[in-house]
Structure 1
């Protein structure tokens, strides 16, 4: 069965209820969890031991919060069947912030895994040296790099909105001949390269930690051994986030773009529809990282787990007290 480009872009209608559910759950779960993580990381208690890894974690949390706070706009977009009801420039702005969140997350997760390798390979030096300045410098460089690379999306804002026949406007849903194919292919190739480099760094750090532990296992004291095992679990968690959230999207993104731009030709409507459906699912999977990132903190420190428990108990007690005050019996 053959299909035209217009028919192809009208496929994957399941994405509207799919993203409404996914984004709503992410907003409900991710907002309080990331606010709690941010409050803990910038609290005076945590700042007494502010280290390089916590600087990266603060940046990671802020990136997640920025993404989560924009989710209501995308929920509105999919609720209205792909109708962008906001000013056209906000489509490019929010789209660029999506990429800023995605690739800053990749870089900061890889940096966190590297700091865990340093903690395993040079625990005394890492504990004694002041790494705060290096962490701040690297963080500034990462943000500048990601923001500068995202400027092309902001500058090229007119190509990301598309007027439909029914007078509605779509956002990031159409790539027509007016788009520069070479520019898009270069951008998406760089995105794939960033993923490959950061994933390679995470895998490399995990392998180095395992090798280091296997050599020193018999010589390690029990407390030191537990500390290094915690580093292994944390880097393994980062690796799982990469594999679950980011790998599927980056495996399919470049082939999907080649198909959309007709660099790779196919008139098989079923094939193109299936490819587009899978692409939408991988986008949903990649969004889940904003609620999985706090898992990394849980593996890194017992203090954060204790902070979450205390915060949960405090909120529960407040809710119970509020419900008692509002009950009719409280007025008797």
Structure 2
């Protein structure tokens, strides 16, 4: 047993330098990408497929979290001083958890839907309706809320008017919180992750060993698999590993047991917190998979942007076209 005075000093200033720029980047990209993706889905509301209802809920979970980021930016820019009150601190952290576990839940639903479409196209897919997918979405929201609700009963703030707003809890309750967090990791992350792995394992067997030659389904499955690998390897796996390791190092520190890796784990935990919020900027990639019209709309938007810039450059150089065609006028008004 080592004395606390010889414990390595934890670099608490790291989060103040690292998290705000990440939050600013995620806020801008996430809001634009999710806003545009949701607009495209809602534009074709009557033609909305079962899988797109899950994608729509994924986008709503992202928007919910993105709207809390400006308050967290202020918090970290001020050197971890929370000025918005205890209740709003809990709401902000609750929105993060809803986004995180809601995203994992809806990605699981999308994967199961893709699995059923490929492995059991006749037996199951014909019986699934949009009403079923709406009911499943409501069930996911309820399940994620029940999992996240106990987190709100742990102390989140410390200090008087300008204190801490913990993403976990105060050190007094850290042992209990670690037990709760491990259970939450098992039900909210490990079980969905195993379901997704099982779905794609079976899909791989069906597509490649049973000689099915549907190239469109193969491409769609590969695209979604790539997006899921990216999300889980960058956002979800590091966060759950280092959050629990950091809580464990805090428990050891409270017991007077020091580990030389505690500072490195703390920094890795802060990096994983930055990476996990990237899911709100990366989730819109699922829109590209779920809606065939979106890539075409993206190309059209880029073309309109290029035309606008070319007109601006012409006007700046002084050689402004005297008249515009009707198509150009219509394009400008729609843009």
On whether the aligned pair clears a TM of 0.5, the verdict is yes
Question: What corresponds to 1:131 in structure 2?
Answer: 129
- Structure 2: how far apart are the matches of 1:89 and 1:317? 49
The alpha-carbon distance between structure 1 residues 137 and 323, as it changes in their structure 2 partners (threshold 3 A), is: farther
- Structure 1: how far apart are the matches of 2:253 and 2:5? 15
Question: What corresponds to 2:68 in structure 1?
Answer: 70
1:23-38 correspondence runs (5 A):
23-38=23-38
Q: Which moved more, 1:81-90 or 1:291-300?
A: 291-300
- Structure 1: how far apart are the matches of 2:182 and 2:203? 30
Match of 2:199 among 205, 230, 240: 205
- 8 Å CA contact retained: 1:175, 1:261: no
- Structure 2: how far apart are the matches of 1:129 and 1:109? 21
Query: Secondary structure at the residue paired with 1:195?
Result: helix
- Structure 1: how far apart are the matches of 2:270 and 2:191? 24
State the shift of 1:288 in Å. Answer: 0.8
- 8 Å CA contact retained: 1:121, 1:209: yes
The alpha-carbon distance between structure 1 residues 114 and 263, as it changes in their structure 2 partners (threshold 3 A), is: farther
Q: Normalised by the size of structure 1, how large is the TM-score?
A: 0.84
The alpha-carbon distance between structure 1 residues 33 and 316, as it changes in their structure 2 partners (threshold 3 A), is: farther
Gaps of 5+ in 2: 321-335
- Structure 1: how far apart are the matches of 2:148 and 2:216? 41
- Structure 2: how far apart are the matches of 1:328 and 1:69? 43
State the shift of 1:273 in Å. Answer: 1.3
- 8 Å CA contact retained: 1:15, 1:280: yes
- 8 Å CA contact retained: 1:110, 1:198: yes
The alpha-carbon distance between structure 1 residues 236 and 205, as it changes in their structure 2 partners (threshold 3 A), is: farther
- Structure 1: how far apart are the matches of 2:243 and 2:179? 13
- Confirm whether residue 310 of structure 1 aligns to residue 300 of structure 2: yes
- 8 Å CA contact retained: 1:12, 1:273: no
State the shift of 1:304 in Å. Answer: 1.4
- 8 Å CA contact retained: 1:120, 1:231: no
- 8 Å CA contact retained: 2:171, 2:250: no
- Structure 1: how far apart are the matches of 2:85 and 2:316? 42
How many pairs align? 318
Query: Secondary structure at the residue paired with 2:252?
Result: coil
Question: What corresponds to 2:102 in structure 1?
Answer: 104
- Confirm whether residue 186 of structure 1 aligns to residue 179 of structure 2: yes
Question: What corresponds to 1:162 in structure 2?
Answer: 158
- Structure 1: how far apart are the matches of 2:210 and 2:20? 50
State the shift of 1:145 in Å. Answer: 1.4
State the shift of 1:216 in Å. Answer: 2.8
Question: What corresponds to 1:293 in structure 2?
Answer: 283
- Structure 1: how far apart are the matches of 2:230 and 2:97? 20
The alpha-carbon distance between structure 1 residues 186 and 325, as it changes in their structure 2 partners (threshold 3 A), is: farther
State the shift of 1:321 in Å. Answer: 6.9
Gaps of 5+ in 1: none
- Structure 1: how far apart are the matches of 2:5 and 2:24? 33
Question: What corresponds to 2:40 in structure 1?
Answer: 40
State the shift of 1:113 in Å. Answer: 0.9
- 8 Å CA contact retained: 2:23, 2:73: yes
Match of 1:87 among 85, 92, 104: 85
The alpha-carbon distance between structure 1 residues 76 and 263, as it changes in their structure 2 partners (threshold 3 A), is: closer
- Structure 2: how far apart are the matches of 1:286 and 1:295? 15
State the shift of 1:117 in Å. Answer: 0.9
The alpha-carbon distance between structure 1 residues 280 and 204, as it changes in their structure 2 partners (threshold 3 A), is: same
The alpha-carbon distance between structure 1 residues 192 and 273, as it changes in their structure 2 partners (threshold 3 A), is: same
- 8 Å CA contact retained: 2:8, 2:263: no
- 8 Å CA contact retained: 2:174, 2:247: no
Q: Normalised by the size of structure 2, how large is the TM-score?
A: 0.83
- Structure 2: how far apart are the matches of 1:226 and 1:176? 51
